[in-house]
Amino acid sequence: MKNSPSSQETLEKIYKRLFAHFGPQHWWPGETSFEIAVGAILAQNTSWNNASRAIENLKKARLLNPKSLRQLPIKKLAQGIRSSGYFNQKARKLKMFLQYLQSRYGGRMGNMQKAALPKLREELLKINGIGPETADSILLYALHKPIFVVDAYTKRVLARHSLISWNASYDEIQGFFLGNLPKSVRFFNEYHALIVALGKKLCHKTYPKCNLCPLASIGKLQIEPSSRQKKK
């Protein structure tokens, strides 16, 4: 995982190719930073369709703000987000986040935004229910901090092109991007969104024909069969 010039070039090539193919993604699909943070938790290992339905549900009930959600009994909250799956766990996670937001930043995302990236990331990772991807999604998409979000698609796409190993850790993959690209919020935002766009369409976990992937036409990049080496 060294910062060789070819890694930079490759990552930039991939970005250009993705952008040309899919166009701007306008992420994150949410109106307020709080909504985005909630969405990041609800979207954990769940289709966005199901998560967004839960968001709409909360919105319709006028509950999608820190105060209302804090006052809402956890059982009611769980029911309200039922469609997002894992609703009992996620209700608990939301409560943990709300408590953090309240105690540390007076319940305001605006206050949170003023804090520095490394401090925020550390705090978020300490919250039970918020792991690296959720933390980074909140940092990048809700708080506009320059961090790269790594998800299952990112790993799959890069590993299929032999840019990382299949067992690379989250931090390794993130370091690959952070070490080889300019730290731009706008750029990181678009890049990750494009990877998801690609993944949703063509790099499905068991999608056998990854050679349809638009990345296939990028120079040295070669699409490998979707070996899913880990049993299951």
Nearer to DNA, 112 or 142 (CB): 142
CB of 217 to DNA, least distance (A): 23
Nearer to DNA, 17 or 93 (CB): 93
CA angle 141, 152, 186 (to 5 degrees): 25
Q: What is the C-alpha to C-alpha distance for residues 201 and 54, in angstroms, rounded to an integer?
A: 23
Nearer to DNA, 83 or 113 (CB): 83
Q: Is the dihedral of CA 151, 157, 159, 164 positive or negative?
A: negative
What SS3 state is found at 187? helix
Task: Say what angle helices 152-160 and 185-202 make with each other, to 10 degrees.
Answer: 80
Nearer to DNA, 27 or 105 (CB): 27
Q: What is the C-alpha to C-alpha distance for residues 29 and 118, in angstroms, rounded to an integer?
A: 25
Q: What is the C-alpha to C-alpha distance for residues 171 and 193, in angstroms, rounded to an integer?
A: 19
Residues found near DNA in the complex (CB under 7 A) = 27-29, 39-40, 43-50, 53, 82-83, 85-90, 127-135, 137, 141, 151-153, 167, 169-170, 196, 199-200, 204-206, 230, 232
CB of 9 to DNA, least distance (A): 26
CB of 196 to DNA, least distance (A): 5
CB of 23 to DNA, least distance (A): 16
